[in-house]
Copies of this chain bind each other. A is one copy, B any other.
Amino acid sequence: MGRALLTDLYELNMAASYLRHGMDDAATFSLFVRELPPGRGFLVAAGLEESIAFLEQLHFDAGDLSYLKDSLGFGDDAIAAFRDLRFTGDVWAVPEGRIVLAGEPLLEVTAPIAEAQLAETFLLNRITLETTLASKAARCVLAAAGRDLVDFSFRRTHGVEAAMAVARTSALTGFVATSNVEAAREFGLPAAGTMAHSYVEAFRGEEEAFRAFAGDYPDRCTFLVDTYDTLEGTRRAVAVIEELELAGPVGIRLDSGDLAELARDARAMLDDAGHPEVRVFASGGLDEYQIEALVAARAPIDAFGVGTLMGVSADAPYLDTVYKLVQYGGRPVMKLSAQKTTAPGPKQVFRGASLDEDVIGLRNEAPPARHEPLLERVMANGRRTLGTESLEAPRRRFRDDLDRLPDAARLIQGPVAPRARTSPALRDLAERTRSGVSP
């Protein structure tokens, strides 16, 4: 599959029309988030790797072309033009892991307008997905305040592809492992997992289940203790730990009830029994709000499993991302529809020492003093120029930017996002363009 049909029909309508009318001038489209959702003080850029891979491969194969001709009625001229179409443009983008704010371009495409238009749907989809997920995971990391986090979301993400993206973006922001085995393999992440209630129930008794499991996995055994009664389960886990003299990393997992109270009681029981090495793991409907409350309550929990609420970014399952034409054939373009004005021209974001000093400017203007440019050229003439990188690089970028984020933006409850300023040069271009817009 050429992947070029992974698009909305209107992109094909427009592309064919541009090609037919000989409109092959370079267009620049800017992809950004208009406004942050409530509950977000910042976003974490992600989705660039898959976006580049898409653009590198973009073409119509024979089956695609047959479908467009026979089923959708595109004419021979359009089909001929589509047959030769490849992505030949340049892409500037914010590297993955960096923090971004409302209005800041995450990615800008400059290419012959048909190519740039065709890519809209996929680029919006992918950048929105991964940036949404990374931003949610980042808040879990903030809430956990140094405790370990594990991605448990696979069972209720919006498909396998989304599950892979959750595993990747949560690792990018600092999660230590994922339960998703395919993602662990694909991204080289630690895989984590214990047992389900069904395992305990499949045996005649809880202790029998624990004994069987510990015998099989003596060096990585976490006992799920809440199938019948959490503290009774903890007692049985201790009995099996002592009986089998388990020495590897051992833990118990709490998955229901009042987690703070149960964690305290279980911790006391473990300590009293002389097992300070046994870790307490908590899961079950957790998100950053729950984790913050548990941490504030000083619940003795060593690690959190975070599932569905992060996996679908339940409180903000999408972002207000747009992909706007800002220049065509050297002519700056802006949209003036009510409440939806967009600034013209290719852009750059300049970042100062703190994230409340961001400036959105023109791509070619000089950075303000003590500011560095955020967008980098990642493709030139249709080829990748960004070096391939492991997740370590975006992880480091995220940590660095997080250190420069104002406290108000880091709040779990009621965060306040910094607003980027607009450079005088960009304001000036917007003024000049506005007065010249031809309706």
Judged by a CB distance under 8 angstroms, whether A325 is at the interface is yes
A54 CB, nearest partner CB in chain B, Å: 10
Contact A129 B337 (CB under 8 A): no
A328: nearest residue on chain B (CB-CB)?
B202
Question: Is B185 within 8 A of A71, CB to CB?
Answer: yes
Among B117, B132, B318, point to the contact of A198 (Cβ < 8 A).
B117
Residues of A within 8 A of B (CB): 5-14, 16-18, 20-21, 23, 27, 29, 67, 71-73, 113, 117, 120-122, 124-126, 128-129, 132, 152, 154-163, 165, 179-182, 184-185, 191-199, 201-202, 204-206, 212-213, 216-217, 220, 226-229, 232, 256-257, 308, 311-314, 317-319, 321, 323-325, 328, 333, 335-340, 437-439
Asked if A124 meets B155 with Cβ closer than 8 Å, knowing A5-B181, A201-B328, A438-B204, the reply is: yes
A179 with B10: CB separation less than 8 A: yes
Q: Which residues of B contact A220 (CB under 8 A)?
A: 73
Task: Give the number of times this chain occurs in the complex, counting copies.
Answer: 2
A227 to B341, alpha carbons, bound, how many Å?
11
CA distance A10 to B128 in the complex (A): 30
Taking the closest CB of chain B, its distance from the CB of A114, in whole angstroms, is 10
Give every chain B residue within 8 A of A161 (Cβ-Cβ): 158-162
A204 contact set on B, CB distance < 8 A = 438
Least CB distance from A310 to B in Å reads 11
The answer to whether B156 and A18 have CB atoms under 8 Å apart is no
Tell me whether B308 and A318 are in contact (CB under 8 A): yes
Q: 17 A-B residue contacts at CB 8 Å?
A: A5-B181, A8-B180, A9-B191, A9-B192, A13-B193, A72-B191, A125-B160, A129-B159, A155-B321, A197-B325, A198-B325, A201-B333, A228-B336, A228-B337, A257-B337, A313-B317, A317-B317
